[in-house]
């Protein structure tokens, strides 16, 4: 079964800390992997998309990596700020998935001032 797992479900860190959010997937046959941010009661904001041929993508303080052989992706957030508090969702587009993203359950991040 093609699944996406994000552990832990919640994380609390002090402001300024560099942190890593993990995502694991069960099948290496993927088109791409996408990281989203969701604020409470809001829609999803696309942060980074990594194609299957890529190893990492960067945007500002965010860096996402992809290791298909181990079925893992990480989202690195540098110098965290209280405004980074949100739920971070990892989603994988598996080959043959007909445009259907497989989402993890998300990691709820709280950055303490």
Partner 1 sequence: DTEVTQTPKHLVMGMTNKKSLKCEQHMGHRAMYWYKQKAKKPPELMFVYSYEKLSINESVPSRFSPECPNSSLLNLHLHALQPEDSALYLCASSKASRRRRSTDTQYFGPGTRLTVL
Min dist. Cβ of residue 16 to partner 1 (A): 28
Integer CA distances (angstroms), 93 to 26, 74, 89, in order: 12, 16, 13
Distance CA 95, CA 71 (A): 14
Using CB under 8 A as the binding rule, whether residue 44 contacts partner 1 is answered as: yes
Q: Determine the interface stretch with partner 1 among 14-22, 26-34, 60-68, 69-77 (rule: CB under 8 A).
A: 26-34
Closest CA to 67 of 38, 92, 101: 92
User: DSSP class of residue 60?
Assistant: T
Q: Using CB under 8 A, pick the residue from 41, 60, 83, 113 that binds partner 1.
A: 41
Q: Which residues bind partner 1 (CB under 8 A)?
A: 31-32, 34, 36, 41-46, 49, 89, 91, 93, 97-101, 103-106
């Amino acid at each position: 079964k093609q699944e996406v797992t994000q552990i832990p479900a919640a994380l609390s860190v002090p402001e300024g800390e560099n942190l890593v959010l993990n995502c694991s997937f069960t099948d290496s046959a993927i088109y791409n992997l996408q990281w989203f941010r969701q604020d409470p009661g809001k829609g999803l904001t696309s942060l980074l998309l990594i194609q299957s041929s890529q190893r990492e993508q960067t945007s500002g303080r965010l860096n996402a990596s992809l290791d298909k052989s181990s079925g893992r992706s990480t989202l690195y957030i540098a110098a965290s700020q209280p405004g980074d508090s949100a739920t971070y969702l990892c989603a994988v587009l598996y080959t043959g998935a007909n445009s259907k993203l497989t989402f993890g359950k998300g990691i709820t991040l709280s950055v303490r001032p």
